[in-house]
Chains A and B, each alone.
Chain A
Amino acid sequence: EAQVTQNPRYLITVTGKKLTVTCSQNMNHEYMSWYRQDPGLGLRQIYYSMNVEVTDKGDVPEGYKVSRKEKRNFPLILESPSPNQTSLYFCASMRTSGQIAQYFGPGTRLLVL
């Protein structure tokens, strides 16, 4: 089954405590992305990756880091979380050869106190 998994699904943390949200896909897709979703703002792209070791900034990269050491994994790192990073986060992977297909993970709801 085509799947994008994210962990954790829910997280409450405090300002400044480093955290990592993992993302993994089982479809051998080259493209992966991270988004945050906030009420009234829709989805905003944080970072994306076109392949292993190839990443680029989206529209709201400040305060986030990513890495792509393996094709299947694309973790999102918050080195020093702040309350304005409280949001719902989605990871996604995309196939661009043949018919375009994109799959989203189930989301990670983060609360930074």
Chain B
Amino acid sequence: QKEVEQNSGPLSVPEGAIASLNCTYSDRGSQSFFWYRQYSGKSPELIMFIYSNGDKEDGRFTAQLNKASQYVSLLIRDSQPSDSATYLCAVNPPGSGYNKLIFGAGTRLAVHP
């Protein structure tokens, strides 16, 4: 089992809908979770970080953690075509500090007009 898993997609949603992306992790002790957006041919960009003590909302983005089921979700409200990108999830292994990150392979999101 991979340490961090994401459905590769593509996840296709209509403009204005909510896009829901999931990421499962294997180490129950993981405490920090990162979401990145990567446009084709570009570098990853950190868009959300949450710690294990709660969810987080930032504009149209919400990150939610389900510790019991060991997954973290990224919700994008009012999806726009400009949100079309690959979304990468990353997890800190326990006791490693923020700098050690395990990434999922990413989910490709396509928002169609």
Contacts and interface: CB of A to CB of B under 8 A. Distances in A.
Asked whether A and B interact, the reply is yes
Interface of A: 31, 33, 35, 40-45, 48-50, 56, 58-59, 90, 94, 96, 100-107
Contacts of A31: 98-99
B102 interface: yes
B93 to A, nearest CB: 10
Interface stretch (B9-17, B44-52, B61-69): B44-52
A96 B100 CA distance: 12
Nearest to A45: B101
Contacts of B18: none
B88 interface: yes
Contacts of A104: 43-45
Interface string B62-89: 0000000000000000000000000010
Secondary structure dominating the interface of A? strand
Nearest to B49: A100
Nearest to A33: B99
B26 to A, nearest CB: 14
B98 A94 contact: yes
A78 to B, nearest CB: 20
B24 to A, nearest CB: 14
B58 to A, nearest CB: 11
A48 B43 CA distance: 18
30 contacts: A31-B99, A33-B99, A35-B103, A40-B8, A40-B105, A41-B105, A42-B88, A42-B103, A42-B104, A42-B106, A43-B88, A44-B103, A45-B100, A48-B99, A50-B97, A50-B99, A59-B102, A90-B44, A96-B97, A96-B98, A96-B99, A100-B46, A100-B49, A101-B46, A102-B34, A102-B46, A104-B43, A104-B45, A106-B43, A107-B43
